[in-house]
Structure 1
Amino acid sequence: MNPELLEPTALQPVPLARTEVSDAAATPAVARRSAPARRTPARNRPVRIAIVHDWLVTYAGAERVLEQIVACFPDADLFALVDFLDDRTFLRGKPVTTSFIQNLPFARTKYRSYLPLMPLAIEQLDVSGYDVVISSSHAVAKGVLTGPDQIHISYVHSPIRYAWDLQHQYLQESKLTNGPKSAAARLILHYIRTWDIRTANAVDHFVANSEFIARRIHKVYQRDAQVVFPPVDVEAFTLNTQKDDFYLTASRMVPYKKIDLIVEAFAQMPERKLVVIGDGPDMQKIRAKAAPNVEIMGYQPFAVLQDRMRRAKAFVFAAEEDFGISVVEAQACGTPVIAFGKGGALETVRDLSEPRPTGLFFDEQRADSIVAAVETFEANARAFSPADCRANAERFSVTHFRERFFSLVRSAVPALEGVTLPAPGGVPLNDAKASAASRALRVLAVDQSGVLGGAELSLLEIVKALRERIEVVLFEDGPFRTALDAAGVTVNVLEAGALRAVRKQGRALPKGKVLASVVGLVRKTAQRAQRVDVIYANTQRAMVIGALAGRLAKRPVVWHLRDIVSPAHFGAAQRTIIKWCAKLGIAHVIANSQASAKAFAALTQFDETRIDVVFNGIDEAPFEALREMPPARLRARLGLPLDAYLVGSFSRLARWKGQHVLLEAMVLNPQMHAVLVGAPLFGEDAYEAELRAYVLAKGLGERVHFLGFQRDIAACMRAVDVVAHTSITPEPFGRVVVEGMLAARPVVAARDGGVLEIVDDGVNGLLCPPGDAHALADTLAELRADAALRERLVANGLQTARRRFGTKTYVDGVERILRKVAAAKAKG
């Protein structure tokens, strides 16, 4: 069976349909036949809720819905056929009860092949001890067994499409139209259909993710369904009214997405530029069809996707989706949509026949139909307003989903009457009250970035430990906000305005629009600071706003200094501002290394009794989970050569990070390969282009592997032989060095900055002069030839990382300082 086809299209979250469910309509329909009243749980005990999901292997559309269901019912227990998640932050750390398929051979990668066993497996999950069962189903989750006193509410992403209306397409694309295998597949799908209809009778209330799916539910199960559109994180995308002259499409490259048709269409329009973002099995096929006016970018991090989506003239979408999350995300950026006129897009896009249109449709999945639609769009471009697109997208927000879904469940479960929707922070419904200890310290954390950089990952560890006592303010939306929300923390995103353009290397003092943005951020931050004991600034721009807000709100400010404030890292104007803020409003500084602390003290003459060094803490769990996994399996997953000697670089692509030094070392050392994990994040695209041009010029194409942004750093590090840290200017700390040690890989690092406080040369790592490609090449060659040296470095490095850079030591150190500063302010 074709595993790609067994990944249903309903895994993409579905935007709000055109017909929304009113509060009155959210009340479940009257049952078709009368039934004896259920026993309801005693009022003196909490309602026990189980959430059942099909399978947990990735974070896609269905999992985004699951994430918000968990947010609605944070004390519920989770069940699934299998759980092979690497990143499980969206589940808030909850354990998952799985079926026997979890332990079958090759289940991690071939779980879809066990489709014939899935009905049996889902029926073996024991949820008999719960009052309410909520299933999140695109395959078999709705078939979980429930009793007469239990209420079963099933949120259906789609009935099993490859068993119903897409059976013939599935068989054709799987090459199962004839022969014994075809007969076996048809028999299995017939059995699945019979089982699917029978189990529908055990569902008390169906919820569909669109009117399109509601019609499918009625067709298949002869049951009505309420529509609650899936959550779309529209707040992660910001409105842009200025559009560039290019079209965009973004998707996983699998057959039903029809990216090849879009590329074919633009090949017929050489005067129109198309940008394609995404990766997948069809990548080579799509590249082969690309004309010079089509740019294939491959997989890109969120920041790049958002940037292109905000700037695009229009977003082109050719799939027949049950919903199509990217369609709504594009509109959230103020970008109109050109979409295939079937499925969920009809519920999320307003075409030219409607007031305030947000896009238009084409009728057939053919290249010439797309060409005609693009020409119609060009002729009517002025009819589409970015503000109208944004307003339409806001109908599909996360908040909207939570309110509607929670209201529907509460109306279906009498025992939940009077219970209110948990706050975004995710306080469990059955938590009577917070402990006195959790109220002892209240913190407002401030960070400038929405990107998951090193500073943000370090803050995330603090936030997880203090989640009931901490509120976070960001000046930019993005993956960091998503991670904070998944951690169950209250997050506010404030618009940074012109402040976003300020850079560390700025030479002039800010003025005009920048100052206006600063005033607005200070005022809003000070308002939030009124309800906390201390402001905890995590980055430099956050420190400036925090210092001013602290003065206004009369709250102490602690700056977690994660930079070396020297001319190599900061411009003269920025250093002047840091000196001024240190005198004006900083109560205490936490430095991430002695190098950072020393540079700050030298610049500001700050009282050294108010500077503490707390090394960053890094969670070992992701690395420990992969300890027994063969590197060959990880290399295969990442598309890396199995038998090469791989040297990995892990950081954003920026000149001061020195990836070019590693490439120069590769020229000198032809027996090695370089793996570059990271993407340009802050206007550094030209540097990436320079690296790629160097690779081509030196004939390194077979030996240099650009992996772009990767979430699972632990897996990437475990896949390489050596972790190289090549910064050409002093690193404030060197998080990558510690991560490499936790990954049990020998580390080679630049001899400067905070790295000197981590690496003991020749004992737990090797040091090279910064920027010296010859020395780096020689050191890597020495390491490759000496197995005993590698083993010694790995053993000592792992011991160092565990002893000095554990998360508990880090969190305890930061919390101790925050408490001390808050207590001193209270006394004074």
Structure 2
Amino acid sequence: MNHEVLEEEAVLRPATRSALAELTSVPGVQAPPRRAALRADKTVRVAIVHDWLVTYAGAEKVLEQIVACFPDADLFSLVDFLDDRSFLRGKRVTTSFIQKLPLARTKYRTYLPLMPLAIEQLDVSAYDVVISSSHAVAKGILTGPDQVHISYVHSPIRYAWDLQHQYLQQSKLTNGPKSAMARLILHYIRNWDIRTSNSVDGFVANSEFIARRIKKLYQRDAQVIFPPVDVEAFSLCTDKEDFYLTASRMVPYKKIDLIVEAFARMPERKLVVIGDGPDMQKIRAKAGPNVEIMGYQPFKVLKDRMSRAKAFVFAAEEDFGISVVEAQACGTPVIAYGKGGALETVRDVSESRPTGLFFDEQNAESIIAALERFDEHVKRFSPVDCRHNAEQFSAAHFRERFFSHVRAAVPALRTATLPPYVPYKAEAAAGAPRILAVDQSGVLGGAELSLLEIVKALRSRIEVVLFDDGPFRTALAKAGASVEVLEAGALRHVRKQGGSLPKGQALKGLVSLVRATAKRARKADVIYANTQRAMVIGAFAGKLARRPVVWHLRDIVSPEHFGGKQLAIIKWCARFGLAHVIANSAASARAFTELTQFDEKRVDVVFNGISAAPFDALRTVPQATLRQRLNLPQDAFLVGSFSRLARWKGQHVLLEAMVLNPQMHAVLVGAPLFGEDQYEIELHAFVAAHNLGERVHFLGFQHDIAACMCAVDAVVHTSITPEPFGRVIVEGMLAQRPVVAARAGGVLEIVDDYENGVLCTPGDAHGLADTLAELRSNDELRNRLVRNGYQTALSRFGTTTYVDGVARILKGVAGR
């Protein structure tokens, strides 16, 4: 226990429990007398209850600051499926029985009828103060007469109250037996919600808007404490440029489509859109040439555009609206829909020192009028005024107000002081090694997606070095990883298929990379090389830094995949600098040991782990909706190919099968990545020569592979040379689509022919065409493959087994 905690405990020791028995003035609360005595030597125990822990969003940012106010508190939640636990300061969470129910990780919301029962089973009877952070059922936690329960309400459960009808419409539950059942459940939830409001001693609302909801529903007053905004992460910028910005998750209620539609009708004004989500295609379709849709961007890019924008446009009705405050923190005025929390965070032009203006209707016409009015008043908006207004919503201000409110409500805490805020840095578990992961690519290929799963799980003790920038770096940063890009120079042009060995500038680049990697490796216990070029750099860097090197082998090292010189380098590096090898299949391991004569005891097979969450999240989305989003035909039998466009991946085999089978369409997802543009040209030429233009759909690179797979009827794997693993096969199984794969390499360790997939001879277009025709006509076969394939993917290729296997090996090597 550190010094600050010991001091805090000394402060929190009250004289008697009678102090806790008296509740000071909290709006709407009449404090009853409390009889039990609190021993002078006992610390005030605090429990914090949150609805569910599955992501890090607005409610969790509030929870983060509440935990910072009470660092010794214990945490409770219905479920806890967090990957990144740093905002909880590494605390363990006590969960309910829902945690162990089937598909709870992705389908926890479907257990809504059980949530009131579940929250009541969490035992907080040993605590003196209970703080609930509630937007659903957390405020229903059971407390006794000698406990103080303060509930910070993000909102009364929306879909049970004023948003019920909207919820039923979006869920397609407006009529029928399911609708009747849903309405009955929501009626029960409302009754329970009102009853449990009586057990709360004091309500805190995140805005006046929510306070009015609380008053209307519970007939209780609430103290307003605005949620924390990381104002310090943004800096004042007084130089504005001639463009507008909107940034948000692209979901219907955010109304990004209305903003884009308005700007499409004003070609003289430029709009920048940052964000991603299910409405992306709909929004792109409405965009004109004056609208730049950037998609998801890392924080650095968002901050830059937000700082330089002429104004931030916001069309949603939010309870609070954090992005509105973030824009003002940059000195950027806001044009917002005049309803909800924005009314409390933006000063309109009718006030002195305005920071924005409002529009009255959620439609394009109203937005256009607001933009014209903004131009009339533009000189009245001062970046300094915007920044000053935003500072009242800072995290530090939240902690001060919330801690003071709790202290006032609990006299036993009257002498307590707010703990100093210390940014949390997760510490590695005792005995866990520090890891330097090295990868050559900035592209999100199969190897990089697999490494991403490792990084998410071991984030607190792993740093990543890349030799190229790109989407992979963005994905790592989004996952909260520590990542650095080193300049590869001429080395980035070296391919595993062969070519000249690096000379001159390339050799200079090699030395530079080795030194830079070795410098970072000295802070680690083990180097984890994820790709072949990274392994070569890692082997030399390991010798310089005196650190063991583990290569995660994701290739079959044979002449079919590598040039002769590259094979010689692999063989030499294996003897020179590798401590251990992790192979992604027995086929990969076998080829490696045959080439290098490496000690088989230092080679382990760990199958790639692939998360089911992105696929399970689409279970309720109709296939027609996904096809419409991707601009694919609704009624055709679609066969999907998912990999980069490369000759050895065999997309041409699928196109040849399409010629033989006119009843099908082919969907090609992927782009040429490593100088393979000529192959893409050949594929397009083949399509044109055989009049396949209406039946072959090139979708290019796609971020949402799960949505693309769920949009097709079958998934094919057409590699003409042996695959080391075949990630796309497992993904197809998770998408619950029948899979057809080439009979070679690591594929044979995944697919049992005609049980969980169908195997075909590599390069045999006729055999592939016949198999696809059989799949199309045989419902029983398709259903069997889907059922067995999904179980195979879950049981053999889950992320937990994968991460545990890799972590175990890295720990063992580091400890030698």
TM bucket normalised to smaller:
0.5 to 0.7
Q: Residue type of the partner of 1:442?
A: P
Deviation readout 1:366-419 (Å, 9 max, x if unpaired): 656755776899999999999x99999999999999999899989988799999
**Aligned counterpart for 2:153 among listed residues 125, 150, 156:** 156
Matches within 5 A, 1:378-417: none
Equivalent residue number for residue 261 of structure 2: 264
- Contact kept, 8 Å, 2:319 with 2:341, in 1: the verdict is yes
Deviation readout 1:211-242 (Å, 9 max, x if unpaired): 8767987998433244441679979x9x9x99
Distance change (3 Å), C-alpha of 1:218 and 1:451: farther
Q: Partners in 1 of 2:583 and 2:668 — Cα distance?
A: 28
- Contact kept, 8 Å, 1:763 with 1:793, in 2: the verdict is yes
- Contact kept, 8 Å, 2:463 with 2:483, in 1: the verdict is no
Distance change (3 Å), C-alpha of 1:76 and 1:665: farther
Question: CA shift at 1:322, angstroms?
Answer: 3.5
Equivalent residue number for residue 528 of structure 1: 523
What secondary structure does 1:590 align onto?
strand
Give the TM-score of the pair, scaled to structure 2. Answer: 0.63
Matches within 5 A, 1:495-510: 495-496=484-485, 498=487, 503=492
**Aligned counterpart for 2:717 among listed residues 725, 730, 733:** 725
Q: Residue type of the partner of 1:77?
A: F
Distance change (3 Å), C-alpha of 1:618 and 1:169: closer
What secondary structure does 2:523 align onto?
helix
**Aligned counterpart for 1:31 among listed residues 22, 25, 35:** 25
Equivalent residue number for residue 773 of structure 2: 781
Question: CA shift at 1:615, angstroms?
Answer: 3.5
CA RMSD of aligned residues (A): 7.2
Deviation readout 1:29-88 (Å, 9 max, x if unpaired): 9534665487669989995736242x7899864467668879978963323xxx8x9x86
Equivalent residue number for residue 336 of structure 2: 340
Question: CA shift at 1:805, angstroms?
Answer: 5.4
Q: Residue type of the partner of 2:77?
A: L
Q: Partners in 2 of 1:208 and 1:679 — Cα distance?
A: 49
Equivalent residue number for residue 24 of structure 1: none
What secondary structure does 1:135 align onto?
strand
Q: Partners in 2 of 1:579 and 1:379 — Cα distance?
A: 71
Question: CA shift at 1:784, angstroms?
Answer: 3.3
Question: CA shift at 1:535, angstroms?
Answer: 2.9
Question: CA shift at 1:480, angstroms?
Answer: 4.7
Relative contact order higher in (CA < 8 Å, ≥ 6 apart): 1
**1:494 is the counterpart of 2:483:** yes
Matches within 5 A, 1:265-344: 265-272=262-269, 274=271, 290=286, 292-293=288-289, 302=296, 314=309, 316-325=313-322, 339-340=335-336
Matches within 5 A, 1:85-234: 89=83, 95-97=95-97, 127=123, 129=125, 131=127, 132-138=129-135, 141-158=138-155, 202-204=199-201, 206-209=203-206, 221-229=220-228
Deviation readout 1:320-376 (Å, 9 max, x if unpaired): 4334355578899x996754275656888999999xx9x965655565675577689
- Contact kept, 8 Å, 2:730 with 2:797, in 1: the verdict is yes
Q: Partners in 1 of 2:388 and 2:657 — Cα distance?
A: 52
Question: CA shift at 1:797, angstroms?
Answer: 6.2
Q: Partners in 2 of 1:799 and 1:122 — Cα distance?
A: 29
**1:76 is the counterpart of 2:72:** no
Deviation readout 1:232-273 (Å, 9 max, x if unpaired): 9979x9x9x99998965544342x534344233212322445
Equivalent residue number for residue 430 of structure 1: none
Question: CA shift at 1:818, angstroms?
Answer: 3.4
- Contact kept, 8 Å, 2:645 with 2:672, in 1: the verdict is yes
Question: CA shift at 1:155, angstroms?
Answer: 2.8
Q: Partners in 1 of 2:242 and 2:534 — Cα distance?
A: 31
Deviation readout 1:1-37 (Å, 9 max, x if unpaired): xxxxxxxxxxxxxxxxxxxxxxxxxxx9953466548
Deviation readout 1:301-323 (Å, 9 max, x if unpaired): 74699979977974643334334
Distance change (3 Å), C-alpha of 1:551 and 1:275: same
Equivalent residue number for residue 10 of structure 2: none
Question: CA shift at 1:563, angstroms?
Answer: 4.0
- Contact kept, 8 Å, 2:583 with 2:603, in 1: the verdict is yes
Question: CA shift at 1:588, angstroms?
Answer: 2.8
Distance change (3 Å), C-alpha of 1:49 and 1:350: same
Q: Partners in 1 of 2:637 and 2:280 — Cα distance?
A: 28
Q: Partners in 1 of 2:670 and 2:409 — Cα distance?
A: 47
Q: Residue type of the partner of 1:229?
A: P
- Contact kept, 8 Å, 2:96 with 2:118, in 1: the verdict is no
Equivalent residue number for residue 11 of structure 2: none
- Contact kept, 8 Å, 1:128 with 1:146, in 2: the verdict is yes
**Aligned counterpart for 2:579 among listed residues 587, 593, 618:** 587
Question: CA shift at 1:733, angstroms?
Answer: 1.8
Q: Residue type of the partner of 2:775?
A: L
Distance change (3 Å), C-alpha of 1:206 and 1:548: farther
**1:736 is the counterpart of 2:728:** yes
Equivalent residue number for residue 180 of structure 1: none
Q: Partners in 1 of 2:136 and 2:484 — Cα distance?
A: 41
**Aligned counterpart for 1:51 among listed residues 49, 52, 66:** 49
- Contact kept, 8 Å, 2:582 with 2:603, in 1: the verdict is yes
My pick for the range that moved more, 749-758 or 518-527, is 518-527
- Contact kept, 8 Å, 2:143 with 2:199, in 1: the verdict is yes
Distance change (3 Å), C-alpha of 1:409 and 1:463: farther
What secondary structure does 1:560 align onto?
strand
Question: CA shift at 1:558, angstroms?
Answer: 1.2
**1:444 is the counterpart of 2:435:** yes
Deviation readout 1:516-557 (Å, 9 max, x if unpaired): 99589637733531xxx4333334576567556644543212
Distance change (3 Å), C-alpha of 1:733 and 1:48: farther
Q: Partners in 1 of 2:328 and 2:730 — Cα distance?
A: 41
Q: Partners in 1 of 2:381 and 2:491 — Cα distance?
A: 32
- Contact kept, 8 Å, 2:667 with 2:699, in 1: the verdict is yes
Distance change (3 Å), C-alpha of 1:495 and 1:632: closer
- Contact kept, 8 Å, 1:557 with 1:588, in 2: the verdict is yes
What secondary structure does 2:25 align onto?
coil
Distance change (3 Å), C-alpha of 1:516 and 1:380: farther
Equivalent residue number for residue 603 of structure 2: 612
What secondary structure does 1:733 align onto?
coil
Distance change (3 Å), C-alpha of 1:268 and 1:746: closer
- Contact kept, 8 Å, 1:587 with 1:610, in 2: the verdict is no
**Structure 2 stretches of 5 or more lacking a match?**
1-21, 86-91, 172-184, 467-471
Equivalent residue number for residue 8 of structure 1: none
Question: CA shift at 1:620, angstroms?
Answer: 8.9
Larger Rg: 2
Distance change (3 Å), C-alpha of 1:66 and 1:445: farther
Question: CA shift at 1:612, angstroms?
Answer: 1.7
Give the TM-score of the pair, scaled to structure 1. Answer: 0.62
- Contact kept, 8 Å, 2:709 with 2:735, in 1: the verdict is yes
- Contact kept, 8 Å, 2:347 with 2:356, in 1: the verdict is yes
My pick for the range that moved more, 459-468 or 265-274, is 459-468
Q: Residue type of the partner of 1:616?
A: F
Question: CA shift at 1:292, angstroms?
Answer: 3.9
Distance change (3 Å), C-alpha of 1:421 and 1:271: closer
What secondary structure does 2:318 align onto?
coil
Q: Residue type of the partner of 1:147?
A: G
What secondary structure does 2:716 align onto?
strand
**Structure 1 stretches of 5 or more lacking a match?**
1-27, 175-187, 428-433, 486-490
Q: Partners in 2 of 1:380 and 1:610 — Cα distance?
A: 74
Q: Residue type of the partner of 2:771?
A: T
Q: Partners in 1 of 2:249 and 2:668 — Cα distance?
A: 23
What secondary structure does 1:525 align onto?
helix
Matches within 5 A, 1:617-766: 617-618=608-609, 635=623, 645=637, 647-650=639-642, 662=654, 665-666=657-658, 668-672=660-664, 698=692, 700=694, 708-710=702-704, 713=706, 722-727=714-719, 731-740=723-732, 746-751=738-743, 753-756=745-748, 758-759=750-751, 765-766=757-758
> Paired residues, what number?
736
Deviation readout 1:285-312 (Å, 9 max, x if unpaired): x678x36436697xx9746999799779
- Contact kept, 8 Å, 2:260 with 2:291, in 1: the verdict is no
Q: Partners in 1 of 2:205 and 2:388 — Cα distance?
A: 23
What secondary structure does 2:435 align onto?
strand
